[in-house]
Amino acid sequence: MGKKKLQHFAENKTFQHYFEASFSDISEQGSPMAGRWNDSFFCNNGKLVVEIGCGKGEYTIGQAKRFLENNYIGVDIKGARIWRGAKTIQEENLKNAAFIRSQAGLLHLWFAESEVDEIWITFPDPQPGSRKNKRLTSPRYLSMFKKFLKPEGVVHLKTDSRELFEYTNEMISENNLQVVNRVDDIYGTLTDGPLCEIRTFYENMWLAEGKVISYVAFQIDKLN
């Protein structure tokens, strides 16, 4: 492992807005923060919004700056990536953002039942072909998200993958889920607003390659 990565891992642990736990601790005990994020960390009653696979945290930070009344938590397993977002929180003294280093499949241990208002999934691995059950909008993950998402909560997907976008819409249709918003081509349809003004590193890269960026938001309370 490179020296810079080791430095970033070490610095992450000095940030009060950075959280991680060993697999054994989180799987056996769950997080002591579960059910306490707003009361004990953010100290307000704002909406709690979680971004899964946040990378360097551009979307988490972008939303936190734009919507100061909400609380944002970015989640990724790559600590070196999270460092950039965590460093920005410190440098800009943001009070409504934090990061968790964790696998997506363990998120039900980090949050309590009905604690989260919204989930954002931004440019995830589309897991092509036979790996459909690994997709973050597969029934496996949606069922897990339902454990900690409020009944009226919303899942947002923003992606450059047409395959993943169509798959997600199939899941919505098959399970009779409520669509909140759907935009097949964000940059061919919208000219302003958060959807096209807040961008991730990968989003800028896909746009430079001429890829179409799609978005769908939906509720999962009717998921069986």
Catalytic machinery residues? 125
DSSP summary character for residue 186: H
The token pair at 101 is 């280093």
As a whole number of angstroms, the distance between CA 122 and CA 138 comes to 15
CB proximity list for 9: less than 8 A, separation 6 or greater = 79, 80, 83
As a whole number of angstroms, the distance between CA 98 and CA 36 comes to 14
Return the beta strands (E) in the chain as ranges.
18-20, 48-52, 71-76, 97-101, 116-122, 149-159, 178-183, 214-219
